[in-house]
Amino acid sequence: MDATVCIIGCGIAGVAAARRLTQAGFRRVRILEATARSGGRIHTGRLGDNVVEIGANWIHGPSKENPVFCLAASYGLLDPEALTPENQAMDFTGLPQLVHNIFTSSGRKLVPGTILPALEMFYGILEEIQPKEGEHSASLLEVIRSEVHQRAAKMWKDVDAPTRSLRLCVISTLMKYECCFNGTPSMDELDMMAQSRYKALPGRDCTFPGGYEGLIRSLMLELPRALVTYNSPVRCVRWNNTERSESKVILECDGGERLSADHVIVTVPLGFLKKHCSTLFRPPLPLHKSSSIQRLGFGTNNKILLEFDSPWWDPDCDAICFIWEDEDALVDEVTDIQRSWIRKLPAFTVLKPTERYGHVLCGWIAGHESEYMETLPEQEVMRNVTQVIRRFTGNPTITPRRILRSQWFHQPWTCGSYSFTAKGSSEQDIENMMEPLPTEGSQAKPLQVLFAGEATHPHYFSTVHGALLTGWREADRLISHYSTTPSVKHKSQL
């Protein structure tokens, strides 16, 4: 196939599209990557001797329906346990199944059953939210606050005031955790429809023993050599060009390089598009498309990884939760970010197995507090986190050996972590996002600019498998275009 295809971005969506196209017989495929590495938001690093994930962490829903899981299994990148039919069939909807150590800001360690009524109420509310598309959609924060107050008045009317207050504080912590899960600054920015639009796959989430980047390396080995040009940011995509008879798309890169292509697949993160779409495309994007880019949500969820000489948590512990005992007003943001940003960190995940990771915790922090955390010196972050751990555990000797934190908001080519269903957005906005340029009905040459990436998947947004599927989708769009063009024979016809 002689058509020239340029792919902007060497994350999983761009790599997947290139692999699909080259396997279908496209000989002139090129990826332009702004950084010096492949993988995008898949980024494996090291904390001391331990392999850790700075970016994507899990295969969410490792089952036969998940293409990331299938590829990882075919490359031999997973533990045997993740490959068992039992693991693939597990359903984790409803209450979290993890074993928690729970600490309060007064230094108490709670029995897990103490917080069970709050867990049941909170996740019960989330499961029951089933708004109809097209109805007025309030934010999740509004709905949760209203429902919690109504139900607490009925269900906890005989509970003493301190216990009732503690349960409400637990719900504040759960809301912060949901901010991390959804990548939103606050549940006030999350649309009610988020619960019904996102589709979960079965299976117990699993990790890559050798790091998520192993998947990228395996895929890259199947691509032709020198297909990727690194350190080559694209500054402008000139499409719908009427000055050239062949109607090529012109890409202007840093340093003045100009490239021409028949088709361009844009796989950059939504955060980058939000910040730069007004200058990245000439002519500008159609209004309905640029408006959808701004309506859709894109937030920051960072990790704070800590290594310890020995564990201070229980041997069977999967996660550690912190409950601030003055947050019974149901809050998921802090009022003074500079002084209190650390309050937004609701939990740590215990990295397992210990034989692989040692004694490492992964803390999660989302929103504007997370963005502020990125600006602080690493030692100041360690000092703040250490102070909180000592306060909540009541152990003044706990000291991390080393720290590593992600800084996705200030990465210039990502501008955040992943997309979410923002209040006021709709599935139509995702449809607009994935719509190729020129739009349908235009007299210009079709399929000049195509769009992929996790934010363009209607149900698997924010996931690696969602991003991969969109890369395949846009590659298949081009493959189908040429297979139905009378003057071009499809590979199967040769």
Q: Is the confidence at residue 197, as pLDDT, over 90?
A: no
Q: What is the pLDDT of residue 137?
A: 61
Of the listed ranges 2-6, 197-201, 443-447, 479-483, the one predicted with least confidence: 443-447
| Rounded Cα distance, 250 and 470, in Å | 23
| Rounded Cα distance, 307 and 348, in Å | 12
Q: What is the mean pLDDT of the chain?
A: 92
Q: Is the confidence at residue 89, as pLDDT, over 50?
A: yes
The model's pTM is 0.94
136: amino acid identity, one letter: H
Of the listed ranges 251-260, 381-390, 460-469, the one predicted with least confidence: 251-260
Distance between start and end Cα atoms, the chain: 11
Domain ranges of the chain: 4-41+207-297+416-493, 93-199+301-405
The band of 134, judged by pLDDT with boundaries at 50, 70 and 90, is low
| Pick from 323, 418, 403: nearest CA to 361 | 403
pLDDT tens figures, 333-351: 999 999 999 999 999 999 9
> For residue 319, what are its two tokens?
């996660």
Q: Is the confidence at residue 78, as pLDDT, over 60?
A: yes
In which order are the strands placed within the sheet that holds 228-229?
228-229, 28-32, 4-8, 263-266, 449-451
Residue with tokens 């996660």: 319
Q: What is the pLDDT of residue 492?
A: 29
Is residue 403 helix, strand or coil?
strand
320, 348 Cβ separation under 8 angstroms:
yes
The band of 230, judged by pLDDT with boundaries at 50, 70 and 90, is very high
pLDDT tens figures, 57-72: 999 999 999 999 999 9
Residue 312 Cα distances to 86, 95, 209, 350, 395, angstroms: 32, 25, 24, 11, 9
Topology (CATH) of 4-41+207-297+416-493:
FAD/NAD(P)-binding domain (3.50.50)
| Rounded Cα distance, 176 and 245, in Å | 55
| Pick from 228, 264, 234, 267: nearest CA to 248 | 264
16, 468 Cβ separation under 8 angstroms:
yes
Residues 6+ apart with CB under 8 A from 234: 8, 32, 34, 251, 252, 253, 280
| Rounded Cα distance, 272 and 452, in Å | 13
Strand pairing class (263-266; 28-32): unpaired
Residue 19, Cα to own-chain centre: how many angstroms? 22
CATH 3.90.660.10 fits 93-199+301-405, yes or no: yes
| Rounded Cα distance, 333 and 178, in Å | 12
| Rounded Cα distance, 312 and 424, in Å | 44
